[in-house]
Amino acid sequence: MMRGMDWRDQGTLLSVRKHGETSAIIEVFTENHGRHAGVVRGGVSRKIAPILQPGAQLDLSWRARLEDHLGAFTVEPVKSRAGVMSDRLALAGLNAMTALLSFSLPEREAHPRLYAQSVAMFDLLGQSETWPIAYLQWELALLEELGFGLDLSACAVTGAADDLAFVSPRSGRAVSAGGAGEWADRLLPLPPELLGVVTGGSAGVVEGLATTGHFLMHGLAHSLGNKPLPEARARLVDRLARQAS
Amino acid sequence: MTTAPREIEELIELMAKLPGLGPRSARRAVLYLIRKRGILLHPLADAMHAVAATARECITCGNVTTTEVCEICSSQKRAIGEICVVEDVADLWAMERAGMFKGRYHVLGGTLSALDAIGPDDLRIPRLVRRVADEGITEVILALNATIDGQTTAHYIAEELEGRCAVTSLAQGVPVGGELDYLDDGTISAALRARKAL
């Protein structure tokens, strides 16, 4: 007799889709099993539906007859992040994160470091004025984890570690203002926020997101068959740009 | 093996597609209808025929109606200047059951959803913006579901209507008859944020 597959893990809910009249198919980002989908029986019931909100931290038990089956989850709430619903910008941040993770992560492949960074970032949404800078750093971490990391440690031309002002759109390496020369207008901006420096205001974050957006689109999305980036990220950038202006 | 004539099997198959009904319950319902042919089957068939011929969306608000403009939109007794925005017709009916709101409605037809690629133009948001300008609306009440998608849509509409009219939303918190011990922490924190002086 074949033994069924099962595991227990903790994860963040990325998306929910109704399945039949009473069930839901959820997608979660777990610590040890990566992005994983499964059915939640009774997932649209009054009791369970409030738990299944994107961004929620869940304790998950997954069971299937064979490993490659969709399988079924039983879920227990660990932490609701529904508190961000009243904060327009934080909600946009949460939507951008869940959409990007769902868009970019390969299925059933563990990324424990990115998972830890993502959970910390989810917890930070709306908690301080500077969370957009942390979000920018999280996008850098996402790119790094998926093989499109930027090297912002030193200038690719001069080797200097200071006066860094640009990023090469091809190599993803930093370029100093002096090293850029006449190529400056063809390079991407490297605001201090991209290096994790808090300057106040959202303008630097928006500039930084334009740079990470370039690599998300031309690197990550290109490798996924040129799928368009999730609309939710564009909405977050739009909100931050409105705040900056 | 066929157990009923083709026409009846076809009716059972169609009934089984209705929410809450499966093949067995559809079979039971059809048998019941046939037994009560005079008092149930014929009136039901007539009613369904009439609805199929006349049901449509209200051109103003998106409510289900049998005329071009629904009763709520054409009523003189309804307060002008206030629009309650709901996701679905079922939500409009729920609001009407409560009997508290005396203004008019706007049915969006869904919520923004990145997962299902539903954008603002797929909903009746542009029409809402036009209504606010054309009908001299002073307040828009967002009665959208307290879900991530519902509130994302609410914030989007609030941004679109900024500076045009007052935009309010339903309160979130402890439901009538609710016990704190059974509430999730998101609801408790929303209720705490929306606390009021007694």
Interface check for A23 against chain B (CB to CB < 8 A): the answer is: no
Q: What is the pLDDT of residue A80?
A: 86
A231 min Cα distance to partner chain B (Å): 6
Kindly report, residue by residue over B94-118, the tens digit of the pLDDT.
Answer: 999 999 999 999 999 999 887 777 8
Interface check for B151 against chain A (CB to CB < 8 A): the answer is: yes
Q: What is the pLDDT along chain A (245 residues), one digit of tens a residue?
A: 445 689 999 999 999 999 988 999 999 999 999 999 999 999 998 888 888 999 999 999 999 999 889 999 999 999 988 888 888 999 999 999 999 999 999 999 999 999 999 999 999 998 888 899 999 999 999 999 999 999 999 999 999 888 899 999 999 999 999 898 888 899 999 999 999 888 877 899 999 999 999 999 999 999 999 889 999 999 999 999 988 87
Using the Cα atoms of residue B56, residue B58, residue B63 and residue B65 in order, give the sign of their dihedral. negative
Gap between the Cα atoms of B9 and B30, Å rounded: 9
Most A CBs within 10 A among B148, B151, B160, B162, hence the mutation to make, goes to B148
Burial of A43 (0-12, 13-18, 19+ CB in 10 A): buried
Kindly report, residue by residue over A115-146, the tens digit of the pLDDT.
Answer: 999 999 999 998 888 899 999 999 999 999 99
Q: Which is it for strands B56-57 and A23-30: parallel, antiparallel or unpaired?
A: unpaired
**pTM of the predicted model as reported, rounded to 2 decimal places:** 0.87
Q: Mark the ranges of chain B whose per-residue pLDDT is less than 70.
A: 1-2
Dihedral pair phi/psi, residue A217, rounded to 5°: -80, -50
CB A151 within 8 A of CB A170: no
Kindly report, residue by residue over A151-183, the tens digit of the pLDDT.
Answer: 999 999 999 888 899 999 999 999 999 898 888
Q: Which is it for strands B139-143 and B104-107: parallel, antiparallel or unpaired?
A: unpaired
Q: What is the pLDDT of residue B2?
A: 57
The residue with tokens 């049901």 is B55
Please report the DSSP string for B33-93 in residue order: HHHTIIIIIHHHHHHHHHHHHH-EE-TTT--EESSSS-HHHH-SSSPTTEEEEESSHHHHH
Which residues, other chains included, contact B167 with Cβ-Cβ below 8 Å and sequence gap of 6+?
B139, B140, B142, B157, B158, B161
Q: Chain B, 101-130: which have a CB under 8 Å from a chain A CB?
A: 114-115, 117, 119
Closest CA to A211 of A194, A226, A227: A194
Which residues does chain A have within 8 Å of residue B20's beta carbon, measured at their own beta carbons? 21
Which chain A residue shows the shortest CA-CA distance from B119? Answer: A231
Output the CA angle A80-A84-A85, nearest 5 degrees: 100
The residue with tokens 């048998």 is B31
Mind listing the domains of chain B with CATH numbers?
A: 6-54 (1.10.8.420), 73-197 (3.40.1360.10)
Which residues does chain B have within 8 Å of residue A51's beta carbon, measured at their own beta carbons? 184
Q: What is the pLDDT of residue A1?
A: 44
Separation in Å, CA B195 to CA A85, A188, B34, B171: 16, 47, 55, 10
Which chain A residue shows the shortest CA-CA distance from B155? Answer: A88
C-alpha dihedral over B121, B124, B129, B134, to 10 degrees?
A: 130
